[in-house]
Amino acid sequence: MPDVGNYLNRHYVSAFQRIAAFQKIGQAKVGGNVASYFCTADGEVLHALAGPQNAHVFLREARWANETYQMAQLENQVQPEQLRAFFRKAHLKRLQSDFWVNVPAEQLPKAANVSAKTVGELFDQNPQLNANGKIHLLLAVAPLPRIEQRRQLAGPAQRRGPG
């Protein structure tokens, strides 16, 4: 789908990093994980996707990340704490609209209290979430993590399975 490539080229700098390889058993590829991260120029994760996605879903999510970031800029939510609060609210809205999960912001742990255990407990309380729903929950709990933290942040979701 050329629209996906054109959109990404206009709004993002693409990069990749090989984390794990897959094995080929017969004609099937087994193992290996894929994740897509939509980040600021400073390496803060605005949004992420788990696993391979079709072109329609990938483009929709890329647009959501970019348009949400642009909306924050238009509303002058540019200071780090303002931007975090803006994206926390945006991820909570997506949880409610796409996954029918309502988590009040005041029930989320404070940034200083976020741990794999607290995130795991939230996942346990919402077992209906698939991997992408868990990403919205995770990024509502800890909005705009640095890309370098991706393994720490992915840990609770990976330990609890794909959902």
**DSSP secondary structure of 16-52:** ------EEEETTEEEE---EEEEE-TTSBEEEEEES-
Q: Per the structure, how many domains does the chain have?
A: 1
pLDDT of res. 132? 94
* CA–CA dist 60, 139 (Å, integer): 18
Fill in the amino acid letter for 157.
Answer: A
pLDDT of res. 104? 87
CA distances from 18 to 21, 35, 47, 154 (A): 7, 10, 19, 16
pLDDT above 80 for 102: yes
* CA–CA dist 62, 5 (Å, integer): 11
What domain range includes position 78? 2-159
- Measured distance between the N- and C-terminal CA atoms of the chain, rounded to whole angstroms: 28
107 pLDDT band (50/70/90 cuts)?
Answer: confident
For the chain, what is the mean pLDDT? 85
Fill in the amino acid letter for 6.
Answer: N
pLDDT of res. 35? 85
Phi-psi region of 9 (alpha: psi -120 to 50; beta: other; left: phi over 0): alpha
pLDDT of res. 38? 94
Helix (H, G, I), strand (E, B) or coil at 107: helix
pLDDT of res. 25? 77
pLDDT of res. 156? 47
pTM attached to this predicted model:
0.82
pLDDT of res. 160? 39
